[in-house]
Structure 1
């Protein structure tokens, strides 16, 4: 499913529908149906699956600096669904993200919602307090008390917050709290004004590369790189059908081989791997010695000039909701609409997924030392679906194809 929010909604709906049917007395009284229902209940998404899917949405929100409104432009979440995402963010102590989801939920509360407004106001106050806006925490605590004047716990919480406000030495106020108050009163639509509220997602090079924030010097250097038709050093199989080779980066040298795997081969590999796919963010399936795996491995051997005798079999991966592969030859088996790049944080390079191509680099220098500049990670898929087949080619067996060096620099 291309839309991660739609996938999250589908998981919730599947679970809720089956549970609803199982709980119908007129249907459940049939013994045969009861046994079938119990079996189906074991197959449906479990609570940890839903939490994992929600965590994936939060990861997308975090990496790409998105608000809930940005994530839900195509697929709407109701108050209950958004509230549950907020709870997961709260449990993960990502309080800014939790606050935004709770606020989104509050805006969509209706008489048909299962979410309790008092609980929602409590979490709004608590989450905003945790990331440093005391005035807004007081505002929501007051709203909670206005909703239920008999709530002694809310009154006690409000008194504690007011005490902190009167004693600034105990609690340092966030200088932007007035902006939050304006937002809460509806005076400012902060979600349309990114200068007022900036998500604290960190400034790591990995996240910046995932968002496409590439240094201009990197861009100029990339424009100077080349592409060519390669015969793999005179490989007879490539003499009349050379492979399309594109240099994605020069140091470390990262090569993309275009059209290395056909659409038919991609579908076969996907079909072999699908039975192993579950609801995790990233699923992995190791292929056995199949004819398809052998054909793809031969193509990789022809293009790279390396021996596959000591290489591992293809490792097929599918990136689920918010899925990423952190710090690890990728054969790309799908195009991705938004996100899903493979980034090299130490080199400042982002390689975009392109169906049918294979991206290749050496993790080791010729002297056998690890080339730390090849440390890489997969960005979360924001829209679309990402399938990848990894091929690990070992140094053993390449002695005459890639001779060693005694230099400490290569």
Structure 2
């Protein structure tokens, strides 16, 4: 647009030249035209250079997109199973694509962009919300699995290199998303990494001042005032009249004086030359965001595979073949693994076939919507930031395979499936997780399942329909147990004691998926019709 405006101005000058009379009648007057022509040639040369630079830039974008596409198309599922790849894909189609549109709209690209906009409804573009969600998911993985920022930026997850390195611009975008969420902890980590990568890049993907602006303020918000001042001074060396930086500098200096962190013989004038040393987040005091989750530490340890269960308890766990007193399993018994004793957490292996899994996935995928939780107070379904996945519901009568797996759950558990909810199918995406929760309704919130008329959720059956390369465990923070997903297996536990009271030890969570894609399906079984199948014992917490 700047070039177009420049040419318009030149044309305007040429049009107004006639007011000076017939220049060609006097050589002296024409001598001035030589200077005019020289200026036109110079401006035209500048225009051509800008167009060539633009084309070179667009070609670079195209080659990068083509390279990423070829890498992805080789194995789409494997490519998207990597959370870094998934984030970068969303970033390329949101903030990066906006930059490309900006380049193209400089003259010749506008027609193409207009045509693309007209067909935008036919194409699938992620939104800014998707970009933010992908960034938040990456940071969730970073925190849960204690991933080093520098290693993650270099495509390294738990000692393995999975993807290409992030650029300074990629790291800046992650930091910007954190900043927009009010998360200054991750802003410092990712803007700091962006600054380090900026110094290493020959082809700059972001400006130094844009990094410093975010980094300085977030460093201050994390309580590191001197470092924030150093970064602000560095920013002002680049942009001396940066109004916000000038205001922040004055404020930081006053804070340091008020806190007595300066020697008495140093005044604010002496702080003008305080320039940041090589930036290292290890030298800062950083505070993680407070997410108000009491068992967060236990939850994350279990997700990382750390042992919280006592050796004495582990020694009592076992695997065995069982029939559960069902004649169907006399010839081919069930493979049962006990993951915990009280509450009884069991895994049954090889209880759903690959063919059945593919049927379930194929039927569910077109119906996927973002997973909801049932509000315990109102009973209404709603979205929640602590449950990141997509889900669909399948009825038993819709397909023979759905009918068979539902009947199989009844055969194994001995419970009546007439009062079980439809099969819920869930796929966890980038950093997909479900924070600690109860499956049953508690206390004065029993109206959550009132419309079903089947009472509370007595039990949970959870099919694992994929192998997850890293992460994705089902964990029980209160008791320190973890059940790891294995394709074809299923977890089962009772949510209620036999007398109908809720078992608070069944509070559980789905760990974030680090690499891979996690598919599960579950049946929630309700109390009604189970009176003689799971009768109340002599003790309130008797397990049967």
Aligned CA distance change for structure 1 residues 6 and 35 (closer, same or farther; 3 Å): closer
Measured against aligned partners, the alpha-carbon deviations of 1:37-94 in whole angstroms (never above 9, x if no partner) come to 23235x2111111111111111112222223223332322222222221122223332
1:48 maps to what in 2? 129
Aligned CA distance change for structure 1 residues 343 and 274 (closer, same or farther; 3 Å): same
Given candidates 408, 411, 417, the residue that maps to 1:299 is: 408
User: 1:140: how far off?
Assistant: 0.9
Asked if the contact 2:192/2:280 (under 8 Å) is kept, the reply is no
Write the distance in 1 (CA, Å) between the matches of 2:113 and 2:167: 36
Equivalent residues in 2 for 1:252-267, closer than 5 Å = 252-267=343-358
2:149 maps to what in 1? 68
Write the distance in 1 (CA, Å) between the matches of 2:429 and 2:118: 29
1:372 maps to what in 2? 504
SS at match of 2:525: coil
1:284 maps to what in 2? 391
User: 1:150: how far off?
Assistant: 2.7
Write the distance in 2 (CA, Å) between the matches of 1:342 and 1:402: 25
Larger relative CO (CA 8 A, sep 6+): 1 or 2? 1
Aligned CA distance change for structure 1 residues 9 and 236 (closer, same or farther; 3 Å): same
Write the distance in 1 (CA, Å) between the matches of 2:514 and 2:177: 19
Write the distance in 2 (CA, Å) between the matches of 1:131 and 1:141: 15
Unaligned runs of 5+ in 2: 1-79, 157-161, 263-275, 291-295, 372-387, 440-460
SS at match of 2:515: strand
SS at match of 1:119: helix
Measured against aligned partners, the alpha-carbon deviations of 1:4-59 in whole angstroms (never above 9, x if no partner) come to 01011112224455995796776875899557623235x21111111111111111
Equivalent residues in 2 for 1:215-226, closer than 5 Å = 215=308, 217-226=309-318
Tell me which moved more, 339-348 or 266-275.
Answer: 266-275
SS at match of 1:121: helix
Measured against aligned partners, the alpha-carbon deviations of 1:182-204 in whole angstroms (never above 9, x if no partner) come to xx7348794xxxx9877737753
SS at match of 1:336: coil
Asked if the contact 2:422/2:523 (under 8 Å) is kept, the reply is yes
1:231 maps to what in 2? 323
Aligned CA distance change for structure 1 residues 337 and 35 (closer, same or farther; 3 Å): closer
Tell me which moved more, 145-154 or 56-65.
Answer: 145-154
Given candidates 164, 170, 182, the residue that maps to 1:81 is: 170
1:174 maps to what in 2? none
User: 1:224: how far off?
Assistant: 2.3
Write the distance in 1 (CA, Å) between the matches of 2:492 and 2:328: 20
SS at match of 2:524: coil
Write the distance in 1 (CA, Å) between the matches of 2:113 and 2:241: 48
Measured against aligned partners, the alpha-carbon deviations of 1:350-372 in whole angstroms (never above 9, x if no partner) come to 11111111000000000100001
Unaligned runs of 5+ in 1: 172-183
SS at match of 1:225: coil
Asked if the contact 1:310/1:397 (under 8 Å) is kept, the reply is yes
Write the distance in 2 (CA, Å) between the matches of 1:297 and 1:209: 30
SS at match of 1:270: helix
Larger fraction in helix: 2
Write the distance in 2 (CA, Å) between the matches of 1:246 and 1:284: 27
Write the distance in 2 (CA, Å) between the matches of 1:129 and 1:230: 61
Indicate the structure (1 or 2) with the bigger Cα radius of gyration. Answer: 2
2:516 maps to what in 1? 384
Asked if the contact 1:324/1:380 (under 8 Å) is kept, the reply is yes
Asked if the contact 1:67/1:100 (under 8 Å) is kept, the reply is no
Asked if the contact 1:65/1:199 (under 8 Å) is kept, the reply is no
User: 1:156: how far off?
Assistant: 2.5
Write the distance in 2 (CA, Å) between the matches of 1:149 and 1:17: 31
2:433 maps to what in 1? 324
Write the distance in 2 (CA, Å) between the matches of 1:401 and 1:34: 61
User: 1:387: how far off?
Assistant: 0.7
Aligned CA distance change for structure 1 residues 40 and 140 (closer, same or farther; 3 Å): farther
What is the CA RMSD across the aligned residues, in angstroms?
3.0
User: 1:128: how far off?
Assistant: 1.3
Aligned CA distance change for structure 1 residues 188 and 100 (closer, same or farther; 3 Å): closer
1:99 aligns with 2:231: no
2:81 maps to what in 1? 2
1:310 aligns with 2:419: yes
Measured against aligned partners, the alpha-carbon deviations of 1:306-333 in whole angstroms (never above 9, x if no partner) come to 1211111211111111111121411111
1:200 aligns with 2:288: yes
